[in-house]
Chains A and B, each alone.
Chain A
Amino acid sequence: MKKFSYLIFTCTTILILVSSCDFLEETPESVINSNSFYKTESDAIAATNAIYDYMTVGTLGIFDEGFGGIFFNDFWVFKDILSDNCKETITSAEYQDLSEFKFTPDNIRIELYWEDLYKTIFSANIVIDRVPLIEMDELKKDHLVSEAKFIRALMYFEAVRLYGEVPLLLYETSSIGEASVARSDIPSIYTAIVDDLKYSESHLSSSFRVGNGRPIPEACTALLAKVYLEMGEYQLSSEYAKTVMNSGAFFLWDDFADIFKLDNMNSGEIIFAANFSGTQSQGFKPNQYHVRLLPPMIYENGRSEGPKNAWGWEIPTDDLYDSFNILDRRREATFISSFTYSDGSTIDFDPHISKFWDREKEPEGNNTDSDVVYMRYAEIFLIYAEALNEMNNGPNDEAYGAINTIRKRARFNGVEEQPILPDLSGLNYQDFKDAVLLERRLEFVMEGHRYHDLVRMNKLVEKVTESGKENIAVSEKHKVLPIPQREINLNPKLTQNQGY
């Protein structure tokens, strides 16, 4: 009997001992709990790297309708289909409605863009709040926070231009209630953008994690020039543009056709580009430039040559195509309308946008390594020209100099200058402004500018109506997109934009 008494005693003791350690504590081993993260330098780097993923592709599955971050496609698709530049051939209503200005607050693309913006902002907020608490090299710490602030500024700049007043969250929220805030006024949002960019401009390191898709101080300066222009702070805009020009950080390629060559990614003219890699991601995470823009007919012609998995969803309007001088280098470099097969036979088709296609390096187009260019040096010249024209109520010599630099390059066909696009001179304020708008159109097809340019210059309704684009229902309310209905349903503090 004693034996068993001992046994029972032992059992009970074990029981009490074991249960007193934290038996119900959860300690995941193959996934990371956010509570146990953000402790070391490598955690800080991992958290910062994550921002770039949300910005480019994101973590949703490949069959999810929200697959892809803002730069995956909608950043550049939106701005040109919401304008006189491009029309949609994709049958799904969500893009058709955008192209024809018939979208509602339920439009799924508008909703998913909002999702990507705020997911990226949230991941940036985590870095901005948590990294300063990590014990690590101060310079590196500042640099990582600066990367996050640059991207946060970029996201809010997208948000404020597309949706107008938006919720401004500048810290990591941890609950639904905390994140369900009202919309902030536009000046507050711009103040936050400027603050972030100025911080980044002065804290980005020049030795740690430089470039290759990450911001450098000059990229902050350049973006500030762009932001100030949008804000109507023309003096500041021109000053910042000038600073970029004087920095010597970037240069213009002599030939427009060289800008998007794969070898020139992240160098020369590129100020900031969202980096993608079809090769490194084994085909899972390339951007959609070629899938959406290149013509399907070349490959479908039964020849197994030319771009594979190309759909030609966004195609230029005649109005856009015809606005180029036939000898403008940019027309040739931007569009494709015929293809010569290896046996010498050719196929002709309506113009498609091929400016991002490096035909020599990636003859199949599909699964590309190309990056999505957010800002390139040519824009600084046009910002400078526009800002000076606004400041002085007309162009001065420097403004002419800036725009003519861009026109000069467009005359160069790779061998020599063509007798086209003469240097501008003698224009009044409005004519110069129109000239800048046109130059931007010719220069930046599908680079994420046209909608914003038309809205900024108050020409959206006029230009879209004149373009001859079919079935359009554009009106003044379209200067901003609607706040996604889903967000209003889930956050009662949100109001809808006028007219939606």
Chain B
Amino acid sequence: MKKATLFLFLNILAFSLLAQNQKISGTVSDATGLLPGANILALNSGNGAVTDLDGNFELSVDANDILQISYLGYQTQDIQVNGQSQFDIKLIEDSNILDELVLIGYGSVKKSDLTGSVSSIKSEDLMSTVVSSIDQGIQGKAAGVVVTFGSGQPGSKSNIRIRGTSSIMGNLEPLYVIDGVPIVSNTSNVGAVVGPALNPLESINSNDVESIEILKDASATAIYGTRGANGVILITTKKGKLGKPVINLDYSYSIQQINNELSMLTASQLAELGNEAADNAGVDRREIYASPINLGVGTNWQDEIFRLAPLHNVQLSMRGGSDNTKYSISGSYLNQDGIIIGSDFEKGTFRVNVDQKISDKVKVGTNINLNRNTLNGVITNLESAIPSSITSWALEFNPGLPVFDENGNYTYNNNTSNPPVGNPVEDAVRTDQLSQSTRITGNLYLEWEIIENLKFRTFVSGDTYFNKEKSFIPNDVYRGQEKGQAAIANSEGLNWLFENTLSYNNIFGDHKIDAVLGYSMESYKNEFLFVSTSDFDDNRLGYNAIQVGAEKTLLFNGTSARQLQSYLGRVNYSFKDKYLITISTRIDGSSVFGEGNKYGVFPSMAAAWKIYDEPFLSNSDVISNMKLRFGIGRVGNQGIQPYGSMGLLSVTEAYFGENDIAKGSGPGTLSNADLKWETTDQIDFGLDMGFLKNRISLTTDIYFKQTKDLLLNPLVPYTTGYRIGLANVGNLENKGIEFAISSVNIEGKNFRWSTDFNMAFNKNKITNIERGEGIPAPPMLGVNGWSILEVDEPIGNFYGYESDGVIQLTEDPSQVPYFVDYSPSHGDRKYVDQNGDGILNVDDTVLLGNANPDFSYGMGNTFEYKNWSLMVFLSGVYGNEIANFNRFGLESFDGLKNNSATALDRWTTINPTNDYPRANADPRGSNTFSDIQVEDGSYLKVRDITLAYNFNTDLLSKMNLASFKLYLSMKNSFVLTNYSGYDPEVNRFSEDPLMSGVDFGSYPTARLATFGINVTF
């Protein structure tokens, strides 16, 4: 046997040495002329070339080699060499994208051979809505993929949900795999800075991305086992291509602006409101409101904090390659000011991708990405019982105060507001909130074709980050509470992966087999440190010398680690290229699982039938493709915190006498040796159709996803010594339907119009949470139970009172059902006493809405006319509600803070409206959560309009340029919505399913106007 193998090797070796003996040359052209940049690959010898600027190529081949000529957008052609030496090859344009390769994790398949549900986004589609990170490009591009941003602060993190929310306490985000490296995406702030965490996807340059594949159904994601439940996003970066170095330079300059400002009261209007509120509450009028008319318009604090903000983005790349070496190097620099003063974001990346052929059988390669991000933030999204955000403060701050007093100092106390807030301009400018991240991601692979059709690949990768947070509040800024405070936090982590796969593919007559078998080990460890001090006498050194603070306030550090060990396998089998079957299994062992449950098995099966290839359809004029898909599989979610299954001890502190601090270790968490992954079973039916030679293509999928063993913290009897114990107890389900349609509407000589449209419906339902009364969201502004997870209900329900107009003069207020601690008067808002018991209490709350849209959609239109192209991309959601907690402050009508201009329409004896209550300085009952705060969140956004002009190649070739493009674009330029806040695309606590769909003092998203220039040498 050994001898035979050796013989085979020698034969192959001899053959390859002997065969490489002929030089050929030629041209490649299309209907309009010669094509530069077309790829020519000799299949036997493996040599390749790229046509030059004039469409010429030269290549060494075997005498009986086969040339494969490919070019994006054209049909690939195979031509026998047959001793010929001159070739003039004409490529035919291809609207058939079915032969594109699609990555599926540990391999790739032709799009036409896909059995699972996978959405592909190509670089050019992605970039249309990207400002700096690729997740910005995904929204609306793939059916069933919903992206939300908890904050519009540049550099902040997104949240992506694929086919609904599949967990409550586990991971909610999909797994990101960049060039085979699963990246750590759940990094969060240690806490020195408050507000949104840095987006881990900012670590790569979006221009480096070649394509994104989104694996949605279980048959596609089961190969990722315990990390597949939320879908998998595979990101492939651009590799070098055969041919001369191609250098590309792109520079763009953008101006960003707030979409809309909210209409607020002027200083004199607020004073009038304040006086009326005081009178109605029977308290003294405030001195500052003594003469409303003299106050005039006052300061528009929104104008003071928002600004026109520039953004510079430079990209430079060089790609090329010879027969044996292909390389791609690129760098980028982005400098973005935020639309709120005092906030900005800076990002630099550097990437090298190299692939080297060592011999005919062995290939090695590496990808290395370096990144440095600096996010300079302002206070938004601070968790607190009161609105603690620059944006909330700017809305509430007294317009009667100037930014600076007569001495040029910031005005300090806001004597209207209770609790008082500081000057928002001063806070934005003078406090520091800095996050810095340095990240190195790299991998190394070796691929060895052991024998023909059998490949071994070993892959090592590392993803390491160093994050730093720094904050400082000077002692004379309001939030410094006369002491000032500083905090520094570090966190760093390393994720390494060692993966070995064997892949085999072959064709035996009608049978085609493509199989992969693998083993992988992965380990992640992170550590963090936090220190803070307060009581600063001197503000000058800030966070650079926190020891200036006299009082050490907090100090902690920690570390955690997790490991994953996996075995995986997949077989793709097709018969007559018509009947396809995929079977895959992954066995994942994870350190975070309990002792009794270390390994989980995640199998899947999928089948597809290419109906179009059956004789009865293949002659159809209308239908040009038809494929039926079915997939079923099981995936997991290992979103358990490390050591979650263990009984951990808490550090305790008691005191013996006045001086003896007795540190101790007492019971902290209840151990659960049976703790395991959450399991999601999913069934998917799909249909792919093509019409009119695939000028129109349609993909539709119906899925049903059932998640069991949800990780929850159910209550346990106190006699255990604990209140809760982490356990696998809940169930939920998601079901939905998705459509994606692509069509070339007009294809003329000079004009082309194509449309991509997608739409997805998802329904979510909790089927079991093993806890009688549901899981309430944490209170917001003192409102309890505004959102509750309940059995047979979807995640994200809002509950509250149903408003019923205002108590009018014709009514007797004492007869109006009300809360026990408040006697209403004329002009107070009424609520429906649902159970008719004469008082308002929690029994009268009703379902007010849900944060999940009924459906989401996106539509891109591309118009090309000669050298011009115009891209218009729209996306939106429909049928969701937003809990707008800003309205408690904006419509308090208490005169204690500035209010929305709706206060002008408040109830008075001469304006007996039913829309708005009276002014009232008595705050009781004012935090009633009702349908007033729950608003329709549906929107349609024009995300991108890009107009580009490509200069003529004739002209360019004289200047030695391959291409030259100018473009203008507008992003987020227009929103159609009924929502009253800054932006309906808001999700303040997007990382927490208990608190979906909240707007509360977030950093608003910006609109951008961009001018850019793109040159290729």
Contacts and interface: CB of A to CB of B under 8 A. Distances in A.
Interface of A: 1, 4, 7-8, 11-12, 15, 18-19, 23-35, 37, 43, 45-54, 56-57, 59, 66, 91, 114-115, 118-119, 121-123, 125-126, 167, 169, 173-176, 179-181, 209, 211-214, 265-266, 275-277, 279-281, 285, 369, 484, 486-487, 489-491
Nearest to A12: B500
Which one of B9, B592, B650, B718 has the greatest number of beta carbons of chain A within 10 Å?
B718
Given A123-B721, A126-B667, A173-B719, A33 B643 contact: yes
Contact of B721 (A66, A118, A209, A491): A118
Contacts of B558: 30-31
B655 A123 contact: no
A214 B448 contact: no
Residue among B658, B659, B668 facing the most chain A CB atoms (10 A cut-off): B658
Contact of B643 (A26, A123, A180, A276): A26
A211 B659 CA distance: 13
Interface string B437-458: 0000000001010000000101
B495 to A, nearest CB: 15
Contacts of B723: 66, 115
Contacts of B645: 26
Q: Is the interface of B mostly helix, strand, loop or mixed?
A: strand
B717 A31 contact: no
Given A169-B719, A180-B717, A277-B658, A54 B652 contact: yes
B565 A19 contact: yes
Nearest to A172: B721
A34 B643 CA distance: 11
17 contacts: A8-B456, A26-B591, A32-B649, A33-B643, A33-B648, A34-B646, A43-B665, A47-B664, A49-B664, A51-B666, A52-B654, A52-B656, A52-B662, A179-B717, A280-B661, A369-B658, A490-B715
B667 A122 contact: yes
A8 B458 contact: yes
B957 interface: no
A58 B610 CA distance: 65
Contacts of A51: 664, 666
Contacts of A7: 446
A37 B665 contact: yes
Interface string B712-746: 00011111111101000000000000000000000
A280 to B, nearest CB: 5
Interface of B: 9, 361-362, 446, 448, 456, 458, 498, 500, 519, 521, 523, 527, 557-561, 563, 565, 589-592, 598, 642-643, 645-650, 652-668, 670-671, 715-723, 725, 772, 821
A350 B203 CA distance: 65
Contacts of B523: 23
Given A49-B662, A53-B666, A275-B655, A34 B721 contact: no
A28 B642 contact: yes
B717 A214 contact: no
B643 A35 contact: no
A35 B721 contact: no
Nearest to B655: A277
A181 B719 contact: yes
A487 to B, nearest CB: 6
Nearest to A53: B652
B563 A24 contact: yes
Interface centre among A23, A214, A279, A285 (most CB of B within 10 A): A23
Contacts of A4: 362, 446, 448
Contacts of A179: 716-717, 719-721
Contacts of B648: 28, 31-34
Given A34-B667, A122-B667, A123-B666, A49 B652 contact: yes
Contacts of A176: 670, 716-717, 720, 725
B652 A122 contact: no
A24 B589 contact: yes
Given A19-B565, A115-B723, A489-B772, A32 B665 contact: yes
B9 A30 contact: no
Contacts of B667: 34, 50, 119, 122-123, 126
B719 A491 contact: yes
A65 to B, nearest CB: 11
B717 A490 contact: yes
B671 A34 contact: yes
A11 B664 contact: no
A490 B498 contact: no
Nearest to A126: B667
Nearest to A491: B717
Given A15-B519, A53-B653, 5 more contacts: A23-B523, A28-B642, A118-B720, A126-B666, A211-B657
Contact of B591 (A19, A24, A214): A24
Contacts of B821: 91
Contact of A24 (B361, B590, B652, B658): B590
B653 A118 contact: no
A280 B668 contact: no
A219 to B, nearest CB: 14
B643 A28 contact: yes
Contacts of A114: 718
A123 B598 CA distance: 29
A212 B657 CA distance: 5
Nearest to B645: A26
A180 B719 contact: yes
Contacts of B655: 213, 275-277, 280-281, 285
B296 to A, nearest CB: 33
Contacts of B527: 30
A212 B598 contact: no
A478 to B, nearest CB: 22
Contacts of B661: 277, 280
Contacts of A31: 558, 643, 648-649, 668
A87 B64 CA distance: 103
Nearest to A278: B655
Contacts of B654: 49-50, 52-53, 56-57, 213, 275
Given A52-B654, A53-B652, A28 B560 contact: yes
Contacts of B643: 26, 28, 31, 33
B550 to A, nearest CB: 13
Contacts of A33: 643, 646-649
A37 B725 CA distance: 20
Given A25-B591, A35-B646, A30 B666 contact: no
A52 B720 CA distance: 18
A28 B646 contact: yes
Q: Which has the most chain A C-beta neighbours within 10 Å: B561, B649, B658? A: B649
A59 B666 CA distance: 9
B559 A30 contact: yes
A119 B644 CA distance: 20
A53 B664 contact: yes
B565 A49 contact: no
Contacts of B446: 4, 7
Given A487-B719, A490-B715, A26 B642 contact: yes
B663 A46 contact: yes
A239 B886 CA distance: 68
Contacts of B448: 4, 8
Nearest to A27: B561
State the 4 A-B residue pairs at the shortest beta-carbon distance, nearest first.
Answer: A122-B721, A50-B666, A49-B664, A52-B654
A147 B446 CA distance: 64
A59 B649 CA distance: 11
B671 A23 contact: no
Given A31-B643, A213-B656, A487 B717 contact: yes
B445 to A, nearest CB: 12
Contacts of B521: 15, 18-19, 23
Given A47-B665, A59-B668, A118 B458 contact: no
Contact of A118 (B559, B650, B666, B719): B719
Contacts of A47: 664-666
Contacts of B9: 1
